[in-house]
Amino acid sequence: MKKWLLTMLFATALMLGACGGGGDSGGESTGGDEGGSTTDSAAAEEIFESNCASCHGADLSGGNGPDLTAVGADYSSDEIADIIQNGKGSMPAQENVSEGDAQTLADWLAEKK
């Protein structure tokens, strides 16, 4: 009986510790810059899927367009936004992507290094 009670207490403490630890960490990142970038990442991924994935691949690995998995190592966020809005090489300007969406997407892609 004591072993069972001790086991249950340990299991409860373990579960609460795991849940509490994840909540605390998530609370800190939500309050900081990372919390904003998580939301922006979701928006950027949606923008990418709608406008870019057909050429650059759903996983950024390329296809008709170049591989973007490490594009942030070559270009800054501002340079990427400029490429999205004005085109480069065989890539045409993306007139259907708003300036705000282009910046959200560029910030997300610039993190890919």
Binding site for heme c, residues?
Answer: 52, 55-56, 91
Report the DSSP beta bridge partners of residue 91. 88
* Lookup result for tokens 């004591």: 2
Q: Which of 82, 101, 91 is nearest to 44 (CA)?
A: 101
CA 58 – CA 75 distance, rounded (Å): 20
> Which run of H or of E encompasses 108?
helix 99-110
With CA atoms as reference, report the closest residue to 93 among 51, 58, 53, 57. 51
76 φ/ψ angles, rounded to the nearest 5 degrees:
-80, 170
Can you say which residues are annotated as belonging to the binding site? 52, 55-56, 91
